[in-house]
Amino acid sequence: MNKEELEALLIELDDALIKAFPGPEFIEMLVVGGACLLFAGISTRQTEDIDVIITDLLGTGRAGLVYNPNPTEQKMREVIEQIGKKHRLKKKEQMFLNDDCAPFLIELGDIPPVRLWREYQKMHLYLPADLSYILACKLIAGRVDKDYGDIAVLRSMFGISTQDQAREVVNRFFPDYDAQEFFGLSRNLDEIFGEGE
């Protein structure tokens, strides 16, 4: 989906969440991944979904839709899936807004400083204040099909041409060396920059 298609789904989702969760409380989410780059105008690469970290669910604090969702989290999942089904998205893409990556990113490090991107009636969506956070995420994830194109765009944007510079970016957000290596950062950097560079 392109930026316009994602934004249309977000408007529809906001309307559905207002009905599902009446009241003044907001759902606050940090957008990460490819959708973040689309929304920030950094990339035009289409994406299958909007990856988020739910930083506040209706005033209850951080939430997760992935593992053992509580009744409120489950209800939010169902609202998202219903819209995905309505638009005849493939089964995997029906959760077009998901936090599948959140446990991985939260395990690696703290949520970075953010800036408000879009304020809907029920949802407040944020982007990282420093988009090199997305570069750090993608360098650790290192998925050839999903990350390498975005990494190239971000490397150019931030002037990152060596492994040392790339590792410095990762260290800024995810300083735990053991966690970096557990997820294969050195291998990813060798593949992206060439071994020994």
Angle between helices 132-141 and 185-193 (to 10 degrees): 100
What is residue 99's predicted lDDT score, i.e. its pLDDT? 96
Residue whose structure tokens are 């998202």: 80
State which of 99, 128, 157 marks the end of a domain. 128
Residue type, 68: N
Q: Which two tokens stand for residue 173?
A: 């957000």
**Looking at the 3D structure of the chain, how many domains does it have?**
2
pLDDT mean across residues, the chain: 94
- Pair (111, 149) in one structural domain: no
- Pair (123, 144) in one structural domain: no
What is residue 117's predicted lDDT score, i.e. its pLDDT? 98
What is residue 194's predicted lDDT score, i.e. its pLDDT? 84
> What are 90-125's pLDDT values in tens digits?
988 899 999 999 999 998 999 999 999 999 999 999
Domain that holds residue 180: 132-193
**Residues above pLDDT 70, as percent of the chain:** 99
**pTM score above 0.85:** yes
Q: Among 32, 48, 52, 28, which Cα is nearest to 40's? A: 32
Mean pLDDT, residues 78-94 = 94
- Pair (22, 112) in one structural domain: yes
166 contacts: CB under 8 Å, gap ≥ 6: 135, 139, 155, 160, 189, 192, 193
State which of 82, 105, 128 marks the end of a domain. 128
Q: How far apart are CA 13 and CA 4, in angstroms?
A: 14
State which of 93, 128, 163 marks the end of a domain. 128
- Pair (80, 165) in one structural domain: no
- Pair (116, 151) in one structural domain: no
- Pair (152, 122) in one structural domain: no
- Pair (108, 90) in one structural domain: yes
- Pair (138, 182) in one structural domain: yes
What is residue 128's predicted lDDT score, i.e. its pLDDT? 98
> What are 8-31's pLDDT values in tens digits?
999 999 999 999 999 999 999 999
